[in-house]
């Protein structure tokens, strides 16, 4: 077949000529290999790897979903790429030449297509169960549960990759929680002795707010961070209805804003930048989306509060 290397045997996988050439450069020690997985900006990663491929006579290979590979690039180009990646806070995984062919040829698992698309989102938001989460901090005798959060978690109604649609799904759910709260239909798993935190939609003007449930005060409304410029209006409306304020979405990039946010708890998703960030009031923070045991250990040792989902 023109442009392709003939397979050496019936069972050997077919590789394009460019891929075979890049692999051969790696195996001959003329080029190096690097794999980048799970970057938050695949287009940026691909552009950087493409630059390095052009500069270092390598190949950008996208043969595996969610991964970008640079194969056969000259060491100088690889070094430059490395410094660019680290400037963005990323790290590529250097792949040894030995075993590279097997890695390339390993069977590819096709990722499942989203089963909950944008169409029908509004209908699903009206029906999906809304979970409760627990806020806890490790105490001397084990975890102390500090509060519960009635959460507008979009995972149950949207599983596409688009962040705006995911955030929209969360806003739809928050609107529904608000309507349920207005009817006094609080979640059955609520513990009456614990404060309840209620997620709010990203509305610049506060809507009519319900009274909080009985017991467990102080309760708080959880505002998305983009409402910080209208915090004063929200704080007033919330206080008039008997609520305090909490915040959702602060990230290490904006850590100094913590002291400007009125109210109590501030929910921040875990990220690689978290451990190196100086927070002015860590006692207010609740860490979410912990990726694994190492992150959990860091958070527990630092006596930070954590959010965990409760079984629905």
Partner 1 sequence: MNASLTWQRDALAVATLARESAASGMERRVLLLRLSALPDELRREHHLRLLREALHPLLRPTRARLYELPSGDMVAAAPPPGEHLDLVAATMRRLLSDDTAVTEELRLPEQAAALLDLVAGALGLSAAPMELPPPAIRGRPPTAAEVLGAEAALARADLEVHLRSQTVCTVAQGADGPEPLWQDHSLALGALAEALLPGCDLSATPWLHRRLRSRAERRLLALWSRPEEVRGFNARGLSLLPASVLEEEFQRFDRLLPARARAQLTIGFALADILADPAGFGLALRLLALRGYATALDGLGVAELPLLLPGLFGLDGLRLRFSRGWLELDAAAKAHLERCLPAERGRVVLAGVEAPAAIGWGWERGITRFQGRLMEQRLSAGG
State whether residue 305 is helix, strand or coil. strand
Sign of CA dihedral 160, 165, 171, 172: negative
Is 226 near partner 1 (CB under 8 A)?
Answer: yes
201, HSE (Cβ side, Cα atoms, 13 Å): 18
Residue in 25, 168, 219, 284 binding partner 1, rule: CB under 8 A: 168
Is 258 near partner 1 (CB under 8 A)?
Answer: no
Nearest partner of 108 among 64, 151, 143, judged by Cα? 64
Residue in 92, 224, 244, 263 binding partner 1, rule: CB under 8 A: 224
Choose the binding region for partner 1 from 30-38, 131-139, 244-252, 293-301 (rule: CB under 8 A).
244-252
Distance CA 128, CA 120 (A): 12
Is 84 near partner 1 (CB under 8 A)?
Answer: yes
Choose the binding region for partner 1 from 45-53, 58-66, 134-142, 280-288 (rule: CB under 8 A).
45-53
Going through the chain in order, the beta strands assigned E by DSSP cover 32-37, 59-61, 67-73, 93-95, 132-139, 142-150, 196-199, 220-224, 244-248, 266-269, 285-288, 305-309
Residue 149 tokens, joined: 């959060």
Is 257 near partner 1 (CB under 8 A)?
Answer: yes
The minimum distance between CB 155 and partner 1, in angstroms, equals: 16
Residues 6 or more apart whose CB falls under 8 angstroms from that of 42 comprise 68
- In the sheet with 67-73, reading across from the earlier edge strand, the strands are 59-61, 67-73, 32-37, 93-95
Is 44 near partner 1 (CB under 8 A)?
Answer: yes
H runs (alpha helix) in the chain: 17-27, 42-56, 75-87, 100-105, 121-127, 163-182, 231-241, 293-301
Is 56 near partner 1 (CB under 8 A)?
Answer: no
Q: How far is CA 65 from CA 39, 81, 114, 116, 219, in A?
A: 12, 21, 14, 20, 44
Q: Which is nearer to partner 1, 107 or 232 (CB)?
A: 232
Residue in 108, 189, 273, 281 binding partner 1, rule: CB under 8 A: 273
Is 55 near partner 1 (CB under 8 A)?
Answer: no
Residue in 8, 9, 65, 87 binding partner 1, rule: CB under 8 A: 87
Is 119 near partner 1 (CB under 8 A)?
Answer: yes
Is 184 near partner 1 (CB under 8 A)?
Answer: no
Distance CA 216, CA 186 (A): 13
The minimum distance between CB 163 and partner 1, in angstroms, equals: 7
Is 46 near partner 1 (CB under 8 A)?
Answer: yes
Residue in 228, 241, 296, 300 binding partner 1, rule: CB under 8 A: 228
- Sites of contact with partner 1 (CB under 8 A): 40-41, 43-44, 46-47, 51, 84, 87-89, 118-122, 162-165, 167-169, 171, 202-203, 224-226, 228-230, 249-254, 256-257, 260, 269, 271, 273
């Amino acid at each position: 077949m023109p442009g392709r290397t003939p397979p050496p045997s019936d069972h050997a996988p077919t590789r394009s000529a460019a891929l075979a050439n890049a692999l051969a450069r790696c195996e001959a020690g003329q080029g190096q290999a690097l794999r980048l997985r799970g970057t938050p900006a695949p287009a940026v990663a691909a552009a950087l790897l493409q630059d390095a491929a052009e500069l270092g006579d390598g190949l950008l290979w996208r043969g595996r979903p969610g991964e970008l590979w640079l194969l056969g690039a000259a060491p100088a180009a690889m070094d430059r790429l490395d410094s660019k990646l680290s400037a963005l806070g990323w790290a590529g995984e250097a792949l040894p030449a030995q075993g590279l062919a097997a890695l390339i040829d390993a069977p590819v698992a096709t990722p499942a297509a989203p089963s909950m698309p944008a169409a029908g989102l509004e209908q699903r938001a009206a029906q999906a169960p809304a979970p409760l989460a627990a806020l806890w901090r490790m105490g001397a005798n084990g975890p102390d549960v500090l509060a519960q959060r009635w959460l507008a978690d979009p995972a149950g109604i949207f599983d596409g990759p688009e962040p705006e649609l995911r955030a929209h799904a969360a806003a739809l759910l928050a609107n529904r929680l608000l309507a349920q709260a207005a009817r006094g239909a609080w979640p059955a798993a609520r513990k009456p002795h614990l404060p309840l935190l209620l997620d709010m939609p990203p509305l610049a003007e506060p809507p009519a707010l319900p009274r909080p449930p009985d017991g467990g005060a102080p309760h708080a409304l959880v505002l998305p961070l983009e409402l910080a410029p209208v915090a004063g209006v929200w704080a007033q409306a919330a206080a008039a209805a008997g609520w305090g304020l909490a915040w959702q979405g602060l990230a290490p990039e904006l850590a100094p804003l913590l002291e400007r946010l009125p109210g109590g708890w501030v929910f921040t998703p875990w990220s690689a930048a978290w451990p190196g960030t100086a927070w002015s009031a860590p006692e207010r923070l609740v860490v979410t989306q912990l990726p694994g045991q190492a992150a959990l250990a860091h958070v527990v040792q630092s006596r930070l509060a954590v959010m965990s989902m409760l079984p629905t």
